[in-house]
Chains A and B, each alone.
Chain A
Amino acid sequence: MLMESRGTPPDVASAAVGEGAVAIQDLSVRFGSTQVLKGISAQIARGKVTALIGPTGCGKTTLLRALNRLHDQRPGFHLDGSILLEGSNIYARGTDVRDLRRRMGMLFQRPNPFPQSIAENVSLGARIHGLWARGEVKARTEGLLRDVGLWEAVRDRLGGTPFMLSGGQQQLLCMARALAVEPEVLLLDEPTSSLDPHSTGRIEELVASFRGSKTVVFVTHNLQQAARCADEVLFMMAGEAIEQSPVRAFFDHPGDERSRAYLEGRTA
């Protein structure tokens, strides 16, 4: 299947929700001689929220960053296996990496707005990718800021620096920035770990609202958060995928002894 051409709106709705949007096949990643991911296979369901959980250092973030090729420039990066987005291998020769990254939006552990005005932060990506016409920039910027619930707080200082906003507001701004380029998949790397409970709640509401329209991969350390937000859980340990299950099944009847031990706070 050919890559979608740039600017084509993601057609998640017509494709069946729940089927694999991203297929990870026997994926191994190493940096120099350090093996970080070992033969991971998993299906990321379309239009659903998949939580990536596991102990610190198990490779959750490495896996997430492999999905939008954020490791490409790291020295010593080596990848085996494949990752298919809607059927095409994102590591294949000739892949349009910039468009791939547009289709896979990302939110990071700490909010990281650009050193540009608040409005520019939202509109920059969409304008560069040619998604917005010149005349609609203002309205669409406002629309996105309303969507994430930031409009009232920033409407009077759209030209001002984003660094005067609270951490939670900055993260919502980053969410608006990510949504502006119309991604099909959202990669969330512990996006609430540095936020207050209110902002955390707001991010979780947004994630819930994406159900059915966007595919979400959500790395979290917080098991309650995984239980609240996720449809599916992918449990990882020491660079391996231990278990992938629907969220209720995972928490009620973990299928693997190591999952059970992790949930009960034991070391297997």
Chain B
Amino acid sequence: MRSTLRRGRDLVFWGLCLLALAIVIVPSLAIIASLLQQSAPALNAHLLTATTASNGLQNAILGSGLLMVGILVVAGPVGIAGGIYLAEFASPTRGGILRLGYETLAGVPSIVIGFVGYIVLDQEFHWGFSLLAAILALSAIVLPYVVKTTEVALMQVPATLRDAAIALGLPRVTILRRALLPPAIPGIASGLVVALAIAVGETAPLLYTVGFTDQNPTLTLFQHPIGYLTYVVYLNATLPTQLEHEVAGAAGLVILAMILVLIGVGRLVGRRAVRYAAQLPT
């Protein structure tokens, strides 16, 4: 009697868990399915070989890739350094001020950051539509994530490891490099992945700062618009022909694929880094 009741309760519990799982998974699968369905006729090599001028995506893929590399170069080091500073070096007062700063930055809508970038960089500095302005605007948007995840990853390193390194009389940089960073790297890497995924999905700040062009991007930092994927989704969805709608769906799929690759790379980096940190005491 008792055990039937318990089994029943177990069943309800597992049922609810499965339901929650489904609520998470079904929408993402539905999005992928509808994108596939919508873009199916357009999914061919033409997407990669032609630019958006002739219903391809070459310039947009290259442009989005270029932006991601730029963000990795700018927001990566700055954000990681900021997180390390907050976790290891900042006094409580300074840390509090800095945290208020990046939390505020995280709350600023991306279109406002794009607007400010446009006014200051494109106009005031006369950069025109500029790759660098776009990279800086997107970096400002994702910086808080990188700082926060780095800080949290370092805070989660067991205190006893820190104690051991301090008690050995090691200098701070060695403590950081040899004891604290190795176990924190998976967390930092996943923070970077999330940051890049957010950045590659942004549209509004790019409209302001770098415009759009059907031509392939160059490494020119100033006075030169570039193409990127999110704009194709945005624009093509409003265009009249079926083919243009299909290309919009394809652009969405490519963004998803890029994010999946990012997640995979993040996991690999994490796994490599925990070589010695595996089974760390918690």
Residues of chain A at the chain B interface (Cβ within 8 Å): 68, 70, 73, 75, 97-102, 104-106, 108, 110-117, 120, 124-125, 128-129, 161-164, 174, 177-178, 181, 187
Contact = CB atoms under 8 A, between A and B. Distances in A.
Contacts, number: 88
A211 B169 CA distance: 24
Interface stretch (B48-56, B159-167, B233-241): B159-167
A164 B279 contact: yes
A112 B275 CA distance: 16
Contacts of B183: 115
Interface stretch (B109-117, B170-178, B219-227, B246-254): B170-178
Given A117-B276, A124-B178, A128-B174, A110 B169 contact: no
A112 B169 contact: no
B168 A102 contact: yes
Report, nearest first, the 7 A-B pairs whose CB atoms are least far apart. Answer: A101-B169, A102-B169, A115-B277, A115-B182, A106-B167, A163-B279, A98-B169
B92 A70 contact: no
A187 B164 CA distance: 12
Interface of B: 92, 158, 160-161, 163-171, 174, 178-179, 182-183, 275-281
Contact of A116 (B160, B182, B278): B182
Contacts of B161: 112, 114-115
B168 A112 contact: no
Contact of B165 (A114, A120, A164): A114
Contacts of B281: 110-112
Contacts of A115: 161, 178-179, 182-183, 276-277, 280
Contacts of A174: 164
Contacts of A73: 166
A108 B158 CA distance: 13
A97 B169 CA distance: 7
B160 A129 contact: no
B92 A125 contact: no
Given A114-B178, A115-B280, 17 more contacts: A68-B167, A70-B166, A97-B169, A101-B168, A112-B164, A113-B164, A114-B161, A115-B161, A115-B277, A116-B276, A124-B168, A124-B170, A125-B168, A125-B170, A128-B174, A129-B169, A164-B279
B180 to A, nearest CB: 9
Contact of A163 (B165, B169, B276): B276
A116 B278 CA distance: 11
A130 to B, nearest CB: 12
B164 to A, nearest CB: 4
Given A116-B276, A117-B276, A128 B171 contact: yes
B167 A70 contact: yes
Interface centre among B158, B165, B166, B168 (most CB of A within 10 A): B168
A112 B178 contact: no
Contacts of A163: 276-280
Given A110-B160, A110-B281, A114-B164, A98 B171 contact: yes
A115 B164 CA distance: 11
Contact of A112 (B163, B171, B276): B163
Contact of A98 (B163, B170, B179): B170
A108 B170 contact: no
A129 B170 CA distance: 8
Given A108-B164, A110-B281, A112-B158, A128 B170 contact: yes
B178 to A, nearest CB: 6
A26 B214 CA distance: 79
A113 B280 CA distance: 9
11 contacts: A98-B169, A101-B167, A112-B160, A112-B161, A114-B179, A117-B276, A120-B178, A128-B171, A161-B277, A163-B277, A178-B168
Given A108-B164, A112-B158, A114-B161, A161 B278 contact: yes
Contacts of A162: 276
Contact of B178 (A102, A110, A116, A161): A116
